[in-house]
């Protein structure tokens, strides 16, 4: 916090210029060592009247004497302040005639005049008003009383109660207006969206850690975080300009104390995660699968007008299926000839097969049927232990403070061979070298390793259809995990199509895929106060990271589509990004008028978004043959690699150059006005559009302080707020978007110009079509809200109505055919999008008896997202889902998402199912007459028991033009509720969160619920309710048959779209504070607790988890066996020394 001083400057009667002050602060920040304070520097001397300063220490407690950690202590009328430590202690340098304002969430604020005292102990009474708590914006520290913007604050104690080591996941349901999309896979980040989705990509918020902007925060230890502040509207976030359109989340890490003694805190959480096998989709057992296979043959024959043919190689040729003694045998006979047999009924030459196995274990298999059935989801999952532990130490003296934090996180995933290890070390300190000069640093080292990660985008994104979870629903239950010799069994056995043994893939392939990275993050800073109220600050921060990964695929010949050779890939990269920030602030009180002027310059080089890289280098080596690995991974032999494909990349990073300013004015602490402007330049854009200017203005009226409000008792506090502003976004723009690039490839640019037939000449073609005219996406936001407290400050309400209109949306423009199929389309500004919503938070805190208290917090958000328009020149009213064409066009013949004008982002798209064809007469009557007078079926592939689609355009037939909007994954309403009960030393917490008005596209049904898709692979129990004449339109799936066309499984339709609404008991916890034992042991604190997490979900969704919704932003809501969030049970111990 800033310290206030009067001073006289002496240097040959020359005044010390502000410019020299700024230069000095930079030099000190980069070069000075942390030594004892010295009032003299080279050629410059400050003579300070220190009699006007005093150091105040004390303790803040509640009425029962319990210390209040994190309570705010602010010198009234200034931004000078601090927070209490774990034991409620504080130290603050203030003016000797100052008044201190003490505040804490849930307690009445209290003002105490210093009057020359050096020790002030304060007891706060319970209260619901939280309007005086500190708001950290990254650049400034304000009180919430002074803010005119929409902000939300999550305190350290709230985050500490949440077991996840994923920092973003801890915000789920805790902040109104913030949606968190996550999964249960260790080592992954979450998708966080603040107030909707403003673009076709790059909707992630800006993260700021101790004043340094970063792309991701996976390196953070949650136990090091002091406060999390979410800046939701332009009035709060536009100070960050071009990177703030999607909101800003500011993390402030913990600091030391100036009490003169060291405090140590130990926190341990340990328990298990349950894969929830009983909650997984149910599959047909072997007998049921055989019977329904024969049912499909009978339905096929009925449709074709023929007699049934029972042709499955395992189930026999009779109408009643039976099982063989062996599903498969592959071996070399006594003559050295290969033998491959399926559906063996009777004995086999076991001695010969064993001899073959001993000679060639990789090519010999003997598989018996598992007649009880293999539960493949159970086989690939486990009860997974997890531990998170932290040790932190804080201390200091009147000259400075320090904080040391050590963290360990060890998580096993519910999937076999999937785990994460993360180690963190943080050191924060600040020191007063002189009464006018303060320096400090915030540094963290993180080592992280992840093994066996699945899914796209670092495990967070959409799974592919070869994922191990989806494989568990494709692998026939009659196949055992192992064959008779202990080798992995698989679909070498005929009749089961081409799924792969997911246990083998996890154990042999995924389990040996490792990624590990190390990063150094932080900043060093200096603050100079040459005049009272005037502060210069300079900060140099950044992050250095190094990443390595190894990926292996073993030879395995037991699949119907075998892995015929070893494959190996190694990646290594490093990157560095830096931020240099220089700011100046001036604060002055003129009677009842208070102003705060703030300005600065910032330069950034680094990764600005997921499609950009920090400056650095990457080296990649791939091999597609040879034997780089032995069965013992301690011995890797790279020299044996064949078909090596080395690649090397160099990145220069993205440059930002910014100037910004802010004016805060208030009159009599009743009327507040704030103006912000920032000018940003970014190297991702061409010269003509490189710079953007982003202004904002906001105001507030503290109505509670008006004279006409003084005699009423209903309101305890009331403030109205209004704000408007512009913010920019360039998150999904690659630096190469402005350039047209050329390259060569044998398939695309080589041509035998001379007509030779023995070779070809190298040519070049456009690989990227550049767009130098692309410019910022700009979001214009409006916010109207109020903060209020009622009933003697027992109830608090924060309400905001807001809208965000984004123009100049960037999206790949469709290219004409003359460009060929080699070039990547450029991003162009082609559209507009709108988000509107309401956020509100209600807090009710009260005492039932003297010993029993409670608090209830409700966070609620309503959201409406809509694509307003596309560029008229393009003549489009939609673009298909999948940025740059990824995923959108073809997923096993489906096209699940499309972006429509007038509909939300990533809307689902396809045919509308109106029922089934329930009789042959209905099939025969569904016709149309073409222009030649021919009478034809109105729907391709129509047949008895198949889907019947709506004729949307009314032309009498079903064509691709009848595909329509089917729903969308954007939640209309989401929220969370926390109930805390406290009786003496015992506390109890429940936390619920929910989402409504959301649909999901359950692509996993394509594999499970149609017999004809990968015929022979495992199928789900939807078969029990597949179409029959008796079920008619009440059937859960079409007729059980082999046919695949648009009337069955061949097209996206509304049958895949399910409600994703859910209500989840996120947390149930009990904690006991053993104060007496702690006192007897001579320690400060001993808390023991237990929590159960994600233990109950109410939903109609048939997939594993309605909260796991694919990949943002244009593939949102598509579930292809994505990694679920499952229940966990944890014990926790917290010890203070």
Q: What is the pLDDT of residue 148?
A: 87
Give the span between the Cα atoms of 656 and 661, in whole angstroms.
Answer: 17
Please report whether residue 606 resides in a domain. no
Q: What is the pLDDT of residue 115?
A: 84
Closest CA to 980 of 997, 969, 992, 968: 992
Q: Is 236 helix (H, G, I), strand (E, B) or coil?
A: helix
Please report whether residue 186 resides in a domain. yes
Q: What is the pLDDT of residue 462?
A: 52
Please report whether residue 198 resides in a domain. yes
Give the span between the Cα atoms of 733 and 726, in whole angstroms.
Answer: 19
Please report whether residue 108 resides in a domain. yes
Give the span between the Cα atoms of 197 and 779, in whole angstroms.
Answer: 11
What strands lie across the sheet with 907-910, from one edge to the other? 878-880, 897-900, 907-910, 964-967
Beta bridge partners of 859: 841, 976
Give phi and psi for 599, each to the nearest 5: -155, 165
Which helix (H) or strand (E) element contains residue 983?
strand 973-983
Q: Which long-range contacts (CB under 8 A, 24 or more apart) does 1038-1041 make?
A: 1038/916, 1038/945, 1038/946, 1038/947, 1038/1010, 1039/299, 1039/916, 1039/943, 1039/944, 1039/945, 1039/946, 1040/292, 1040/295, 1040/296, 1040/299, 1040/1011, 1041/296, 1041/299, 1041/300, 1041/303, 1041/945, 1041/1011, 1041/1012
Alpha carbon distance, N-terminus to C-terminus of the chain: 26
Please report whether residue 1024 resides in a domain. yes
Give the span between the Cα atoms of 845 and 981, in whole angstroms.
Answer: 10
Please report whether residue 649 resides in a domain. no
Phi-psi region of 386 (alpha: psi -120 to 50; beta: other; left: phi over 0): beta
Please report whether residue 1089 resides in a domain. no
Domain count, the chain: 2
| CA atoms within 13 Å, Cβ hemisphere of 167 | 24
Give the span between the Cα atoms of 134 and 1114, in whole angstroms.
Answer: 37
Question: Which of residues 225, 256, 287 is at a domain's end?
Answer: 256
Question: Which of residues 1059, 1081, 1098 is at a domain's end?
Answer: 1059
Q: Which residues of the chain have pLDDT under 50?
A: 1-51, 128-131, 459-461, 625-636, 639, 883-889
Task: Write out the residue range of the structural domain in which residue 1039 sits.
Answer: 907-970+1002-1059
Give the span between the Cα atoms of 199 and 206, in whole angstroms.
Answer: 15
Residue pair 931/955 in contact (Cβ under 8 Å)? The answer is: no
Residue pair 452/469 in contact (Cβ under 8 Å)? The answer is: no
Q: What is the pLDDT of residue 687?
A: 87
Quickly count: other Cβ atoms within 10 Å of residue 507's Cβ: 18
Question: Which of residues 1020, 1044, 1059 is at a domain's end?
Answer: 1059
Q: What percent of the chain lies above the pLDDT cut of 70?
A: 85
Closest CA to 719 of 737, 736, 702: 702
Backbone Cα Rg of the chain: 33
What's the CATH code of the domain at 160?
2.60.40.1120
Q: What is the pLDDT of residue 32?
A: 35
Give the span between the Cα atoms of 1077 and 1079, in whole angstroms.
Answer: 5
Give the span between the Cα atoms of 408 and 422, in whole angstroms.
Answer: 6
* Burial degree of 486 (CB within 10 A; 0-12, 13-18, 19+): exposed
Which helix (H) or strand (E) element contains residue 721?
strand 715-729
What strands lie across the sheet with 107-113, from one edge to the other? 81-83, 72-75, 99-104, 107-113
Give the span between the Cα atoms of 100 and 121, in whole angstroms.
Answer: 11
Please provide the DSSP assignment of 155-188 as one string: EHHHHHT---S-TGGGGTTTSTTEEEE--S-TT-
Residue pair 395/258 in contact (Cβ under 8 Å)? The answer is: no
Please report whether residue 85 resides in a domain. yes
Which helix (H) or strand (E) element contains residue 358?
helix 350-359
Beta bridge partners of 617: 574, 650
């Amino acid at each position: 916090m800033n310290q206030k001083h009067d001073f006289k400057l002496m240097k040959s009667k020359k005044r010390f210029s502000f410019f020299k002050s700024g230069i000095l602060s930079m030099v000190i920040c980069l070069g000075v060592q942390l030594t004892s304070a010295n009032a003299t520097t080279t050629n410059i001397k400050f003579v300070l009247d220190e009699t006007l300063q005093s150091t105040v220490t004390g303790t803040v407690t509640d009425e029962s004497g319990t210390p209040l950690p994190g309570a705010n202590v602010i010198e009234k009328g200034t931004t000078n302040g601090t927070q209490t430590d774990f034991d409620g202690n504080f130290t603050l340098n203030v003016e000797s005639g100052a008044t201190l304002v003490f505040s804490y969430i849930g307690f009445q604020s209290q003002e105490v005049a210093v009057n020359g005292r050096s020790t002030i102990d304060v007891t706060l009474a319970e209260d619901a008003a939280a309007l005086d708590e500190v708001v950290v914006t990254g650049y400034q520290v304000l009180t919430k009383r002074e803010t005119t913007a929409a902000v939300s604050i999550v305190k350290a104690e709230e985050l500490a109660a949440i077991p996840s080591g994923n920092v973003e996941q801890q915000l789920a349901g805790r902040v109104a207006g913030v949606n968190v999309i996550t999964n249960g896979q260790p080592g992954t980040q979450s998708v966080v969206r603040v107030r909707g989705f403003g673009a076709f990509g790059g909707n992630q918020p800006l993260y700021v850690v101790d004043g340094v902007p970063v792309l991701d925060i996976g390196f953070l230890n949650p136990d090091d975080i002091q406060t999390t502040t979410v800046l939701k509207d332009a009035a709060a976030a536009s100070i960050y300009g071009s990177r703030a359109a999607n909101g800003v989340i500011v993390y402030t890490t913990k600091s030391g104390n100036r009490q003169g003694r060291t405090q140590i805190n130990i926190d341990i959480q340990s328990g298990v995660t349950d894969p929830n096998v009983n909650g997984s989709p149910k599959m047909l057992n072997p007998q049921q699968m055989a019977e329904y296979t024969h049912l499909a043959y009978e339905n096929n024959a009925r449709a074709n007008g023929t007699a049934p043919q029972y042709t499955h190689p395992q189930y026999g040729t009779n109408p009643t299926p039976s099982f063989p003694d062996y599903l498969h045998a592959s071996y070399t006979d006594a003559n050295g000839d290969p033998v491959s047999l399926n559906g063996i009924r009777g004995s086999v030459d076991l001695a010969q097969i064993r001899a073959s196995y001993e000679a060639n274990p990789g090519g010999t298999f003997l598989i018996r049927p598992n007649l009880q059935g293999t539960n493949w989801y159970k086989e690939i999952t486990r009860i997974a232990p997890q531990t998170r532990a932290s040790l932190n130490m804080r201390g200091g003296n009147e000259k400075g403070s320090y904080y040391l934090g050590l963290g360990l996180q060890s998580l096993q995933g519910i999937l076999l061979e999937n785990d994460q290890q993360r180690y963190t070390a943080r050191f924060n300190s600040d020191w007063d070298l002189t009464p006018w000069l303060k320096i400090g640093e915030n540094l963290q080292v993180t080592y992280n390793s992840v093994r066996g990660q699945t899914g796209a985008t670092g495990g967070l994104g959409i799974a592919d259809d070869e994922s191990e979870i989806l494989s568990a629903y494709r692998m026939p239950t009659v196949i055992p995990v192992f064959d008779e010799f202990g080798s992995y069994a698989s679909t070498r056995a005929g009749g089961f199509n081409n799924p792969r043994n997911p246990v083998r893939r996890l154990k042999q392939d995924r389990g040996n895929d490792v990624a590990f990275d190390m990063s150094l993050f932080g900043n060093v800073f200096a603050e100079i106060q040459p005049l009272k109220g005037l502060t210069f600050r300079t900060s140099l921060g950044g992050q250095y990271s190094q990443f390595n990964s190894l990926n292996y695929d073993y030879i395995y010949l037991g699949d119907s589509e075998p892995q015929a050779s070893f494959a190996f890939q190694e990646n290594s990269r490093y990157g560095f990004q830096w931020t240099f920030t220089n700011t100046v602030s001036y604060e002055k009180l003129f009677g009842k008028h208070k102003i705060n002027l703030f300005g600065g310059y910032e330069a950034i080089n680094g990764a600005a978004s997921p499609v950009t890289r920090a400056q650095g280098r990457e080296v990649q080596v791939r091999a597609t043959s040879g034997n780089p690995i032995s069965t013992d991974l301690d011995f890797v032999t790279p020299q044996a690699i064949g078909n090596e494909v080395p690649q090397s990349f160099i990145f220069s990073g993205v440059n930002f150059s910014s100037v910004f300013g802010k004016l805060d004015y208030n009159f009599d602490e009743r009327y507040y006005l704030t103006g912000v402007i920032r000018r940003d330049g970014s190297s991702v854009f061409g010269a003509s559009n490189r710079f953007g200017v982003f202004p904002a203005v906001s105001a507030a009226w503290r109505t509670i302080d008006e004279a006409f409000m003084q005699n009423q008792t209903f309101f305890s506090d009331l403030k109205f707020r209004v704000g408007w502003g512009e913010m920019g976004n360039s998150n999904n723009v690659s630096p190469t978007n402005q350039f047209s690039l050329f390259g060569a490839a044998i398939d695309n640019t080589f041509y035998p110009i001379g007509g030779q037939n023995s070779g070809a000449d190298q040519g070049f073609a456009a690989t990227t079509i550049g767009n130098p005219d692309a410019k910022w996406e700009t979001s214009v936001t409006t916010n109207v809200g109020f903060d209020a407290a009622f009933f003697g400050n027992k109830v608090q309400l924060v309400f905001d109505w807001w809208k965000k209109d984004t123009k100049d949306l960037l999206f790949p423009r469709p290219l004409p055919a003359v460009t060929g199929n080699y070039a990547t389309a450029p991003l162009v500004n082609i559209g507009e999008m709108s988000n509107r919503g309401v956020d509100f938070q209600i807090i009710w805190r009260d005492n039932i008896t003297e010993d029993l208290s409670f608090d209830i917090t409700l966070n609620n958000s309503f959201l409406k997202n809509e694509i307003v328009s596309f560029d008229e020149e393009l003549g489009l009213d939609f673009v298909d889902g999948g940025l740059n064409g990824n995923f959108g066009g073809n997923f096993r013949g489906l096209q699940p998402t499309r972006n429509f004008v007038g509909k939300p982002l990533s809307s689902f798209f396809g045919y509308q199912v109106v029922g089934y064809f329930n009789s042959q007469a209905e099939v025969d009557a569904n016709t149309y007459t073409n222009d030649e007078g021919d009478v034809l079926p109105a729907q391709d592939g129509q047949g008895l028991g198949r889907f019947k689609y709506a004729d949307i355009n009314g032309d009498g037939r079903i064509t691709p033009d009848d595909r329509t909007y089917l729903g969308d994954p954007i939640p209309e309403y989401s929220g969370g509720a926390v109930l805390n009960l406290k009786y003496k030393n015992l506390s109890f917490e429940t936390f619920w969160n929910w989402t409504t008005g959301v649909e999901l596209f359950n692509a996993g049904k394509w594999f499970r619920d149609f017999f004809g898709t990968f015929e022979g692979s495992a199928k789900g129990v939807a078969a029990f309710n597949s179409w029959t004449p008796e079920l008619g339109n009440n059937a859960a799936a079409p007729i059980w048959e082999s046919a695949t066309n648009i009337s069955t499984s061949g097209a996206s339709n509304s049958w895949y779209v399910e409600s994703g609404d859910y209500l989840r008991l996120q947390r149930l916890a009990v904690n006991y504070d053993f104060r007496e034992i702690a006192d007897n042991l001579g320690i400060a604190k001993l808390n023991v607790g237990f929590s159960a997490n994600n233990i109950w979900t109410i939903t109609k969704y048939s997939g594993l988890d309605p909260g796991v919704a694919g990949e943002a932003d244009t593939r949102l809501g598509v579930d292809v066996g994505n990694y679920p969030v499952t229940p966990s049970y944890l014990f926790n111990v917290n010890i203070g020394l």
